[in-house]
Structure 1
Amino acid sequence: MSALTTNEYLQILAVISSPIIAIQVDKILDTRRSSKNRKIEIFKTLMATRGSSLSFEHVGALNRIDLEFSGNRYKKVIDAWKEYFDLLSQQVTPENLAAWSEKTGDYLTTLLYEMALSLNYQNFDRVTIKRNVYAPSGHKQDEAQNKLIKDLLVKVLSGQGSLSMEIDNDDETIEKNQEYMKNQIEIQQLTKEHYLNEKPWNIRVVKDKD
């Protein structure tokens, strides 16, 4: 029996390895499809909830960006997310509430625009993303005010801030408070005397009239 030539060896190897290679290629393609589907899911969630940025769905999708949009191809997405995240992490005051709210809308629009480009959604421009969204009147302002209230509450509870209080010091209020305190002190003294000296309480029984 003659020895096999190099070409014959290669042909046999190709026949044996073809199914294995095909399986590996399918696995690679499935992984890529799954990865893209997860990115599309994040993008669709953020688009659907861009009028309600404090919702659990919106926040959850934002927190998945770093995990799914990795690599040089998505660098602009990650850069836009970092800028938006930095803005969201800033402290809000009553003075900068309106400006902060407007700026967050612009940064979110930029993020969604870069995500759309990276996923080959060519029909989305910045104006469409920012304007074509339904949200109840004042919803964005309400969310910004809620964030302000939470920030202020955290400061108070952590000892970094305080609550302002206004005390009514007019004469009538002071007189009522003094009278109330006087009565409370008298009641406490009488109660103490009865218990310490074992004085009986005066009880009057009133019979019901038939």
Structure 2
Amino acid sequence: MFENLDMSTKDIIMTAAVILGPILAVQAQKFIERTQEKKNRRMALFKTLMSTRAERLNRDHVQALNMIDIEFYGRLLPFLKTRYQTRKEQAVTHAWKSYNSHLNQKDEYESLEQWIKKGDELFTNMLYAITQSLNYDYDKVQLQRDCYRPIAHGNIENTQLAILDGLDQLVNKGRPLPMYVVNFPPQEQADNNEQDIHNN
């Protein structure tokens, strides 16, 4: 292959190979590390959503949802100044947009049960899209039903919501605080207290 080249051309090719070889190897290693890091972040997001799928008000769950746009953004093509997403990334971000839009449309449903049912369906579709992008073999029924949540957790969450709603009614909506007297003081003590008030 190099027989027709003079010595200086061979030297240039060899020198270029010696210089570029390690540079290309380092760049290849960095590419592999970035790819692995991206996969690890996506896995962490998926694990958080799976582990909190029965507790959708959980702070970690909400943070993971808000990271979907970042983790499945795709990549920016610098020369075209546009973003490239794989079909699997597009499926995830589209499913997230549908679910997010639904979360903000509670008043458009006749009942809370209908809104919750539709939300469960959209959330499951989003989880399914994430599993597909990570090359996991889950089906939608498994994602929707195979989770454990003790009844006590639901009771605690409902109680906390009721307390917060009651406080909101008192503080922000002017609801009166009902008060009931359980035990009246003896009449003699009440008369003395009334006398003290008039004297002062």
Aligned residue among 101, 110, 113 for 2:116: 101
Q: 1:88 to 1:48 in 2, by over 3 A?
A: same
Counterpart residue number, 1:14: 17
SS of the equivalent of 2:42 reads: helix
The structural deviation recorded for 1:164 is 8.1
Check if 1:46 corresponds to 2:49.
Answer: yes
Change (3 A) 1:117 1:150: farther
1:110 is displaced (CA, Å) by 0.7
Number of aligned residue pairs: give it.
Answer: 179
1:25 and 2:40 equivalent? no
The one-letter code sitting in structure 1 at the alignment partner of 2:100 is: F
- Letter of the 1:75 counterpart: Q
Question: What is the match of residue 129 of structure 1?
Answer: 143
Amino acid at match of 2:139: D
Task: Give, in whole Å, the separation in 2 of the partners of 1:92 and 1:131.
Answer: 26
Question: What's the offset of the Cα at 1:139?
Answer: 5.9
Displacement of 1:114 in angstroms is 0.4
Q: Is the 8 A contact 2:48 2:64 kept in 1?
A: yes
SS across alignment from 2:53 = coil
Q: CA RMSD in A?
A: 3.8
- Matched to 2:93, the amino acid is I
Residues of 1 paired with 2:44 and 2:123: CA distance?
Answer: 17
Distance change (3 Å), C-alpha of 1:108 and 1:33: same
Give CA-to-partner distance per residue, 1:100-121, whole Å, 9 cap, x none: 2222211110110000111111
Seen in structure 2, the aligned counterparts of structure 1 residues 150 and 70 have a Cα distance that, compared at 3 Å, is farther
- Read off the aligned partner of 1:39 and give its amino acid letter: R
Output the amino acid matched with 2:148: Y
Q: Which has the larger radius of gyration?
A: 1
> Is this contact kept in 2: 1:52–1:58, CA < 8 A?
yes
Q: Distance in 1 between matches of 2:163 and 2:101?
A: 19
Equivalent residue for 2:134, pick from 115, 119, 125? 119
Shift of 1:47: 1.2
**Contact kept? 2:170, 2:177, Cα under 8 Å:** no
Deviations 1:21-75 (A, max 9, x none): 1111101110110011110111122112212222233222222212211121212
| Cα 1:90/1:149, change in 2 over 3 Å | farther
Which protein, 1 or 2, shows the higher relative CO under an 8 Å CA cutoff with sep ≥ 6? Answer: 1
Q: Letter of the aligned partner of 1:80 in structure 2?
A: A
8 Å Cα contact 1:77/1:111 also seen in 2: yes
Structure 1's unaligned 5+ residue stretches are 168-182, 196-210
Looking at structure 1, the residues matched to 113 and 153 of structure 2 have their Cα atoms a distance apart, in angstroms, of: 13
Alpha carbons of structure 1 residues 145 and 191: separation in structure 2 relative to 1, 3 Å: closer
Return the alpha-carbon distance in structure 1 between the equivalents of residues 194 and 165 of structure 2. 46
2:178 and 2:105 map into 1 onto residues whose CA distance is 29
Report the 3-state secondary structure (helix = DSSP H, G, I; strand = E; otherwise coil) of the residue aligned with 1:133: coil
